[in-house]
Amino acid sequence: MTGALTSSIEFQMSLLLFVALAGYLVASRINQSAVIGEILVGILVGPSVLGLITYTDFVGSLAQLGAIFLLFTIGFEFCL
């Protein structure tokens, strides 16, 4: 039953949102950038360390979409 719970997309996305918030709060509390905390907890719960988030096509698509938005935002910040 535990495997079925942790493999559902709803659980994985909820977990990512809550741990990202926790990473933000912890990093802010120790005067670090919020992005550092979010990246560290993402690595922690990802498939490499704890394996709570498994790599599926949906998660891969979200990762690509996030990378596109990140690069788009960075492009607006540059002054040539």
Section 54-67 average pLDDT: 83
> Treating both helix axes as pointing N-terminal to C-terminal, what angle do 34-45 and 9-29 enclose, rounded to 10 degrees?
140
Residue 30 is part of which domain span?
Answer: 2-77
Question: For position 7, what pLDDT does the model report?
Answer: 65
Residue 1: band (very low, low, confident or very high) from pLDDT cuts 50, 70, 90: very low
Domain tally, the chain: 1
pLDDT of residue 6: 57
pLDDT, average across residues 31-36: 88
CB 54, CB 3: distance < 8 Å: no
Mean pLDDT for 13-40 is: 89
